[in-house]
Structure 1
Amino acid sequence: MVDQAGVPDAPEEIDASWWSDAATAMGDTADLEQPELWFSELAAAARQAPEGSLQQQVLQALATSASAMLAADNWSDPFEPAMRWEGRRSLVPADLTVDQLELLTRVAPLIEHTTLRARVADVCWTYGERSRVDLLHLAVDAYRAVPLDSHTWFSVGEESWIRALELILRRGTAERDRAREMTEKLADRLLATTTADAFMTVKLSELLRSLRSRLRPDPLEVSTHLSALAAEVTQRNRRLARHLDDEASAWCVLAGDQDAAWTAQARIAESYVAEATDRMSGDDSGAFVAGTLYEQAIARLMQIPRARRASGGLDDRVDELRRELAATRRLSLELMTAVDSDPVDLTTSAQQARRQVSGHERFEALARFCTLLPLTDVPTASAAVRDQLAESLSRLFSRMTLAGDGRKVAVGGGIGDVEDDLDAALVRDFGIRVEMSAVGVLMPALGVLQAEHRFALDTLQRLCLDSPTVPAGHVDLWARGLHHGLNGDFPSAIALLVPQLEQVVRLQLRAAGAYTLVVDPDNGVESEKGLGALLGMPEATAVLGESLAFELRALLVEQQGANLRNHVAHGLLTDGQAWSAYALYAWWLALRLAVVPVWLSRIPQTDPSTGSQPVDSAEGAEQEDPAQPERPETLAEAEPPTGLGSPATSADSSVHGPPPAGAARERQ
């Protein structure tokens, strides 16, 4: 703009008092307060300013620049939203317009409060003209003006100094002197720390180690100082002592003194042992925590090279700690208590299951028994579990699973991957379903099946010969496994059938074109993948179907589940597990896979001219068919068909009968 004489108008002056009310509201800590905490006060001041005035524009721009959180280690996007919700976010400096950035460029030198000045100058340089070195220096000098004391380090100090170093080091040799000055100040502060500085010492050490070698202090001097602090604090704060020794070990490596680094690792291990002993000194309730501490001690010692462990007698120490760990794990199992819920009445389910298989000819009764239960509807179950986890506080706490012999077989909970917690919950819910299904459906129905029919081994051999599920050359093994189960001998059944299920999965994947081998990179030797690896292949769900793939994994290879495959293969199966609901369910699942494809191929077709059905053989599976039945290409296709009355999909009851003939023919 110009006045009537043709002289440009002078820009309206900016008054620092405009944001003084915001500083007053924040109190004495405003100078070193986190910038994002300025946001609400600056936004409130902007609302009270005259509408459309320069004062309001300045305050709005200041509020936007202060709104975000500083991510000092993220060079490309250093300012993150303070809040995110339902696809939206709070303001960030990237939302500032060009006019607002120009306005903040005028404002930055006028700000007296350290952290706010650093933020505004940094925003102006990051999103404005990067040729403005004066803005860069203004931001850096404000950042490093934050005092190096333990009171402010964890609120604004650490992020401020990291950001200042990042800005300077990115400019290379142009800022060499300033970089050296800053790192020397950090090094002097590190070497002057005391035990009262606690974890600030650790953070300073980590920051200096992350710098280029020419900017680091003398590694030997730092390691000596940190080791002395660790020794001083070890009796009253073992956690801090371990972190200090960890840093001392890292600096020893930088100094080229590897022996001193391993000695520090051994001290850390003994610190864990001492804390475990303290936990066990009161009563046995400390066994859970003590076990974790022994684990950490063993892990630290195992990081030391074998030759060094042998020369220092540390291998014997590892063996001793492993015995202590086993003892605490057994004690942890003894301390566990059963959590009882309200009883579940399964009477109706048992009655329905008996009625479904009673009064039918032998093969039809067997087929009905195989379709009493639907397989897990994974999407529905996942949605239900996800809702449960969203409403539960259980994810805030860590969780570990112990095997019957005291081994830790799984961990979870805490701040971790939500999908891992979801899968663990799905496996646990599946276990509950197996227990209830075994008691309320399978056992009652099996009793009726055994009372009304006799299944000879040769009958089952002919059935397995017809079944597209059973591989050639495995017919007798399958038949004997199924025969054991029909006679109530579940330990013998799963001993035969669990390995056979693994082979079926392997052959189905191979037939679909999947590569099921593992090749040794050193010598080219090929070996077959185990069941866990097979079920983890992306082709598994397509070939087996989502439901079957999940149930095989949850039943046979999941550590948090029954893990039957590994227990059978490695001789870990106990008598109790061999007679458990899981064993019954595994046998039933194998029976289902063998019988259902044969049953589907033999369901009589309705004559469209008469509406009648040909009379089915009384011994279905034992008769010779003149035509070979169509064999499903995958196990997913061998499942009972979907549709009205389908035993695999009906939601009306957990107990079902066979599907109508028309539905089966439509699938074929």
Structure 2
Amino acid sequence: MPELIVPASMEELIKRYDAKEEPFGEFAISGELNAARMALIDPTEAEAAGAWAEVLAFALSAGGHENPWNSYFGPMGSSTDGDGKTLYFPDISGTPPATIDHWAARARSLKHPFLRARYADLAWEMSGLIGKRRRDVDDARIAIDAYLDAIQRMAEDHEHVRFAIRALDLAVLIRDKDRTDRARAALMGVHRSLMQNKGGLWWYTVDRLLEDKKADVTDVERAELVSDLESIVTTGSNTNDPAQFNPHEAQDAAERLIRYYGRFGEVDDIKRLRKAVGASFEHFASNADPMLAAALLQTATDQYRKAGLKEDHDRTRIMMQQKIGAAGENLQSFERKIEIPRDDMEKFLDLIVVDDLATTFVRIAREFLLSRAELEQQVRQMLKEAPLMAHIPATIMADNHVAAKIGSVEDDPFGRLMHQTNFAFQFARLWLAQAFRRLFERHEVAPEHFAGWANRHGLFDDMGLLLEGLRAWEREDHVKAAHVLVPQVEYALRKVADDLGVPITKAHPVVSEASVAIGMGEILYNEKVAEALGPDVTLHLQALYADPRGMNLRNQIAHGLMEAGQFYWHPANLIVHSLLMLGLWKEFGVKPKN
């Protein structure tokens, strides 16, 4: 019996897509393939394997953010089970090795360039992981040629950019000079189209080509990229043209030029660019409310300082301090209880993301704040519904040590409560992601909006790093976002402690007569701070950042215990959500007793 047979219904579906002339994406075919697989009645073992091979081919995320297999293709998502084990969706474990041969055959028999590219790239990339065999360079060659053919056929969203970049990456990897030249030329063509249409996404092409040493970028092409970046800075920083004025885009282009000019010591050009960006953000701040203006002026101040423009720096620094004070004078408390049906995402989003941005921030902050009372009830319910699990102690293992031990529900109720937060964080992942997605769709928000909100109570004297982290989050650079923002959260909590009269330094454990700052764990487990923050905020931040029985992000990051694949959109979203919470900490919290 053959190891793999594609059911007839799914074979017909593949043939139909192979004959399509109009563009389609991987999600369209994935949805139909999954539905066809679910509709199978008593498939044979070989048919089940064939159905899975087709579903898996389009369920995997190309260039995704989770990367547990160190490959170009990864899972769409993941979750954690009751034992702390990570589960991936989809998971490649157990996939028959014959799947690789099947994908390779598809790449050679089909006609549509997108399908050929997808199957060939899968056969190339997943050979060792699934097929347990060496890669076949012909798979890479087929993928490159098909990706280049698919650019015009599949120009849906930013897929033409992704196809061109993937073709170039593969060509460089296999050291194919002809294909490298063709892929680079195609990517330059995509870049010119993006510049002509002024639709954004230019950073993908520029970042891939400007400073690349392996793609054989010519001097003429590099000069064109630099010229295009200069035009973006000029247009985006032009305060006399409101229709084209875009300080954020100007800053993004300027940062790339500054890195480029820095290699050649072009000091005057760097100063010119920093001044232009500073002036554009200063102008932007002049028309913004105090909370947003303070965050915008932070960027202007930083740019003037780096450019050596002391008078401009001092002027905008004073303006920023004035705006922070003005924002504090107009603080308001927002109270709204929302009951949300969990099976209705659209209704949920309509309730959370509303026309008023401040109210939206409040609702996102409140909706995804853990409720200590609800979690305690869930732990108590475990005694009734799963008494055996409730009484068995648990051990949380790290790579080379015991990270934490959790007793029974009766003996260690707080440990169980803290462990329960992990399930709450995982349950919230899709809801929070969709809330942020809808927020960006409905409002023209920028990192400055988030920074200004987080600083409503003056927790940040300098918002430079806060903005750096939020910009990284916005562009989905989750590694940088986490490493920059988590220390900023700790800084803000230390400010809370200081305002409450809690000592924020302690004696150095080794160096005599020296002091060190107290850490996040000491802050969050301080009774006075916990009382001021309130039980929900305290538990939420303890679990997210500082307790080994929770997510423990601060300690995991600070001690280098997280792998690259663990930095993806969900932890980053939780960190940004905690910044929204900090903007409301006085409204959430309880006033300390005298």
Question: With structure 2 as the length reference, what TM-score do the two structures score?
Answer: 0.56
Deviation digits for residues 284-328 of structure 1, max 9, x if unmatched? xx1111111100111122233xxxx2xxxx211111111211221
**Residues 16-55 of structure 1 aligned to structure 2 (within 5 Å):** 19-21=11-13, 24=16, 31-34=23-26, 36-46=27-37, 47-48=39-40, 51-52=43-44
Deviation digits for residues 16-42 of structure 1, max 9, x if unmatched? 9954435758996875413x5422312
Describe the shift of the 1:43–1:216 C-alpha distance in structure 2 as closer, same or farther (beyond 3 A): same
1:293 matched to 2:311: no
Counterpart amino acid of residue 302 in structure 2: A
Counterpart amino acid of residue 198 in structure 2: D
Alpha-carbon separation, structure 2, partners of 1:187 and 1:382: 52
Deviation digits for residues 384-419 of structure 1, max 9, x if unmatched? 988998779799694423567994689699867698
Query: What secondary structure sits across from 1:147 in the alignment?
Result: helix
1:138 matched to 2:124: no
Alpha-carbon separation, structure 2, partners of 1:405 and 1:45: 54
Describe the shift of the 1:134–1:162 C-alpha distance in structure 2 as closer, same or farther (beyond 3 A): same
Describe the shift of the 1:203–1:210 C-alpha distance in structure 2 as closer, same or farther (beyond 3 A): same
Alpha-carbon separation, structure 2, partners of 1:16 and 1:255: 61
1:528 matched to 2:514: yes
Deviation digits for residues 492-539 of structure 1, max 9, x if unmatched? xx8xxx88x96xx53xxx7xxx3145xxxxxxxxx6024x24x57xxx
Alpha-carbon separation, structure 2, partners of 1:256 and 1:117: 46
Describe the shift of the 1:315–1:195 C-alpha distance in structure 2 as closer, same or farther (beyond 3 A): farther
Query: What secondary structure sits across from 2:212 in the alignment?
Result: coil
Pick the aligned partner of 1:165 from 138, 147, 168: 168
Alpha-carbon separation, structure 2, partners of 1:547 and 1:317: 37
How far apart are 1:270 and its partner, in Å? 1.4
Pick the aligned partner of 1:400 from 454, 457, 467: 454
Pick the aligned partner of 1:319 from 306, 314, 338: 314
Residues 79, 93 of structure 1: 8 Å contact kept:
no
Counterpart amino acid of residue 67 in structure 1: A
Query: What secondary structure sits across from 2:151 in the alignment?
Result: coil
Give the aligned partner of residue 122 of structure 2: 123
Counterpart amino acid of residue 140 in structure 1: I
Give the aligned partner of residue 108 of structure 1: 107
Alpha-carbon separation, structure 1, partners of 2:258 and 2:134: 40
Alpha-carbon separation, structure 1, partners of 2:316 and 2:524: 42
Describe the shift of the 1:45–1:232 C-alpha distance in structure 2 as closer, same or farther (beyond 3 A): same
How far apart are 1:54 and its partner, in Å? 7.0
Give the aligned partner of residue 60 of structure 2: 68
**Residues 511-660 of structure 1 aligned to structure 2 (within 5 Å):** 514-516=509-511, 528-530=514-516, 532-533=517-518, 550-551=526-527
Describe the shift of the 1:50–1:384 C-alpha distance in structure 2 as closer, same or farther (beyond 3 A): closer
Residues 114, 142 of structure 1: 8 Å contact kept:
yes
Describe the shift of the 1:191–1:246 C-alpha distance in structure 2 as closer, same or farther (beyond 3 A): farther
Q: Which has the larger radius of gyration?
A: 1
How far apart are 1:422 and its partner, in Å? 9.5
Give the aligned partner of residue 248 of structure 1: 257
Pick the aligned partner of 1:263 from 262, 269, 272: 272
Deviation digits for residues 40-89 of structure 1, max 9, x if unmatched? 31233344489339776544312122211012796932222123234333
Q: Which runs of 5+ in 1 are unaligned?
A: 2-8, 280-285, 343-376, 435-493, 518-526, 562-580, 586-668
Alpha-carbon separation, structure 2, partners of 1:388 and 1:50: 37
How far apart are 1:227 and its partner, in Å? 1.4
Describe the shift of the 1:16–1:297 C-alpha distance in structure 2 as closer, same or farther (beyond 3 A): farther
How far apart are 1:104 and its partner, in Å? 2.5
Question: With structure 1 as the length reference, what TM-score do the two structures score?
Answer: 0.50
How far apart are 1:93 and its partner, in Å? 4.7
Alpha-carbon separation, structure 1, partners of 2:255 and 2:234: 12
Alpha-carbon separation, structure 2, partners of 1:382 and 1:425: 23
Describe the shift of the 1:84–1:385 C-alpha distance in structure 2 as closer, same or farther (beyond 3 A): closer
Describe the shift of the 1:315–1:21 C-alpha distance in structure 2 as closer, same or farther (beyond 3 A): same
**Residues 378-527 of structure 1 aligned to structure 2 (within 5 Å):** 398=450, 399-401=453-455, 407=461, 506=507, 514-516=509-511
1:80 matched to 2:74: yes
Give the aligned partner of residue 566 of structure 1: none
Alpha-carbon separation, structure 1, partners of 2:421 and 2:92: 38
Alpha-carbon separation, structure 2, partners of 1:138 and 1:49: 35
Q: Which runs of 5+ in 2 are unaligned?
A: 82-86, 338-412, 440-449, 474-480, 539-589
How far apart are 1:263 and its partner, in Å? 1.3
Give the aligned partner of residue 357 of structure 2: none
Alpha-carbon separation, structure 2, partners of 1:428 and 1:406: 8
Identity of aligned residues (%): 16
Residues 144, 161 of structure 1: 8 Å contact kept:
yes
Give the aligned partner of residue 524 of structure 1: none
Residues 140, 164 of structure 1: 8 Å contact kept:
yes
Residues 118, 143 of structure 2: 8 Å contact kept:
yes
Residues 382, 426 of structure 1: 8 Å contact kept:
no
Describe the shift of the 1:94–1:180 C-alpha distance in structure 2 as closer, same or farther (beyond 3 A): farther
Counterpart amino acid of residue 253 in structure 2: L
Alpha-carbon separation, structure 2, partners of 1:117 and 1:240: 36
Alpha-carbon separation, structure 2, partners of 1:214 and 1:24: 37
How far apart are 1:113 and its partner, in Å? 3.1
Alpha-carbon separation, structure 1, partners of 2:60 and 2:215: 34
Residues 49, 56 of structure 1: 8 Å contact kept:
no
Alpha-carbon separation, structure 2, partners of 1:275 and 1:27: 51
Describe the shift of the 1:184–1:249 C-alpha distance in structure 2 as closer, same or farther (beyond 3 A): farther
Counterpart amino acid of residue 180 in structure 2: A
How far apart are 1:271 and its partner, in Å? 1.4
Counterpart amino acid of residue 316 in structure 1: E
Query: What secondary structure sits across from 1:89 in the alignment?
Result: strand
Alpha-carbon separation, structure 1, partners of 2:183 and 2:28: 27
Counterpart amino acid of residue 186 in structure 2: K
Deviation digits for residues 259-293 of structure 1, max 9, x if unmatched? 223312221111111211232xxxxxx11111111
Alpha-carbon separation, structure 1, partners of 2:417 and 2:493: 7
Describe the shift of the 1:404–1:116 C-alpha distance in structure 2 as closer, same or farther (beyond 3 A): closer
Counterpart amino acid of residue 121 in structure 1: A
Residues 288, 328 of structure 1: 8 Å contact kept:
yes
Give the aligned partner of residue 283 of structure 2: 274
Counterpart amino acid of residue 125 in structure 1: W
Alpha-carbon separation, structure 1, partners of 2:54 and 2:40: 15
Residues 242, 268 of structure 1: 8 Å contact kept:
yes
- Mean CA deviation greater in 199-208 or 379-388: 379-388
Aligned-CA RMSD value: 5.2
